[in-house]
Amino acid sequence: MTVRDPTLDSVAEKVSRNERLTRDDALALFQSNDLLTIGRLADQVNRRRNGDRVFFAANQHINPTNVCVLRNTCVFCSFARMPREEGAYTRSLEEVFAEADAARDNATREFHIVGGLHHKLRLAYYLDMFRGLRERHPGVHIKALTAVEVAHLARIEQLSVRDVLTAMKDAGVTSLPGGGAEVFSPAARATIADKKLSGAEWLAVHREAHEVGLPSNCTMLYGHVETMADRVDHLLALRALQDQTGGFLTYIPLAYHPDHNELGEALGRTGTATSGFDDLKNIAVGRLVLDNIPHVKTHWPMVTPFISQVALTFGCDDLEGTVVFERVYHEAGAATPMWLSYDQIVTLIRGAGKEPVERDSLYQTVRTFEDWVPGQRPARPEGPEGATFRISHRPPAGARGRRTLPVLQEIASAE
Ligand code: SF4
């Protein structure tokens, strides 16, 4: 293989020998602009594992509440609200069940349930939700609650994290999503999410989940204040835990969106999301460094379906699914659709010359598409009557009084 950037020569040799990459290798990849080489190497690794298969789940996102006790400290978040703030909502169980029922004809195989850290919602609310969904939709997997939500529930219930996870599993949860990891670097975290659980605590929750038999996903939020070294150390921490537990199913790099949050305003980045170049590089480097995590997913609501389609030849073997109701990233200014139909996903994957495979949460094959006839699946359902699915953007950060971001202040005074 021709390598244009000579700093990647040794990485290319290691990839051809199927050898683990070091910290320096990972840093060289993030620092290189030889995107096509990085992509080709990642594609090579992905093809060894997954051939031409690209997985997707017919999933439905459910966000029970956007009220969050960390609303004023996670400065990158556009989703959360204070309890009485405009746009704040908390769904009753009946509303959650109605939203889930609305997609009944959509062949949903997975509920992806995440939300804010509500000050009053107790563990019983979530357990009743999981049992109710399980009863109403017995064939649908439940992937629920980020490590941050699990730790929050453990704290307000005065239970151990393991007890909360065990109760969730008993109520029907089959896996955990990977949100809340952001970037583990204490310095970056101090700027973007200084009251959120630490990187070590996030990893500890996932370790416990794996030990009680709940596999999980892992993520990294990139494109904000993190350094290339922060990215590398984050990936290496995920790889180290996976060496011990083997419980991560999928790695998902998440692109930071700067609209409607304090961080975007402080950085002067509103309206400027990550570049396609960086989106593809993060997919590819993730595939190359995380040699022990089976799957790498591209999240089309953040990076657009078009970048996601290209990512399928940059080391990615999994495309975010149908979603149905996407709120979290659209609050942050994502200009992508809020959902994709079954047909659109199959067409995107085929358009990249790949073989679509519908999977469940645990990557068991639901169906393949040799005999696929477009237009056979129902389109997105209407929401239940009375429930609000409209996105209402938060007021600009300045309208709420601006908080000083410590690391940004240091950067400004150093310049
Ligand atoms: S990122 Fe999560 S924990 Fe932080 S404010 Fe948003 S919803 Fe709350």
Structure tokens at 158: 């005065």
pLDDT, residue 197, reads 95
Distance 80 CA to ligand 1 centre (A): 6
Q: Which amino acid is at 15?
A: V
DSSP type of residue 258: -
Q: Which amino acid is at 251?
A: Y
pLDDT, residue 380, reads 43
Distance 116 CA to ligand 1 centre (A): 6
Distance 270 CA to ligand 1 centre (A): 19
Task: Classify burial at 398, counting beta carbons within 10 Å of its beta carbon; exposed 0-12, middle 13-18, buried 19 or more.
Answer: exposed
**Residue 145 in contact with ligand 1 by CB distance below 6 A:** no
**Residue 79 in contact with ligand 1 by CB distance below 6 A:** yes
- 43 vs 51: CA distance, rounded Å: 10
Nearest-CA residue for atom 5 of ligand 1: 71
Atom of ligand 1 nearest to the CA of 179: 2
**Residue 57 near residue 106, CB atoms below 8 Å:** no
Distance 303 CA to ligand 1 centre (A): 20
pLDDT in tens, the chain (415 residues): 788 999 999 999 999 999 999 999 999 999 999 999 999 999 999 999 999 999 998 888 899 999 999 999 999 998 999 999 999 999 999 999 998 987 676 678 899 999 999 999 999 999 999 999 999 999 899 999 999 999 999 999 999 999 999 999 999 999 999 999 999 999 999 999 999 999 999 999 999 999 999 999 999 999 999 999 999 999 999 999 999 999 999 999 999 998 889 999 898 887 778 999 999 999 999 999 999 999 999 988 888 899 999 999 999 999 987 655 545 554 555 555 556 777 888 889 999 999 999 998 899 998 898 888 776 654 444 433 333 334 445 554 444 444 444 444 443 333 3
Of 225, 233, 176, 223, the closest CA to residue 199 belongs to: 233
**Residue 315 near residue 39, CB atoms below 8 Å:** yes
Q: Provide the residue ranges of all domains of the chain, joining segments of one domain with +.
A: 20-369+397-414
Give helix 342-351 / helix 300-311 axis angle, nearest 10°: 40
At the second CATH level, the architecture of 20-369+397-414 is Alpha-Beta Barrel (3.20)
pTM of the model: 0.89
- 366 vs 357: CA distance, rounded Å: 7
pLDDT, residue 393, reads 52
CB atoms < 10 A from the CB of 72, how many?
15
**Residue 117 in contact with ligand 1 by CB distance below 6 A:** yes
**Residue 310 in contact with ligand 1 by CB distance below 6 A:** no
pLDDT, residue 388, reads 37
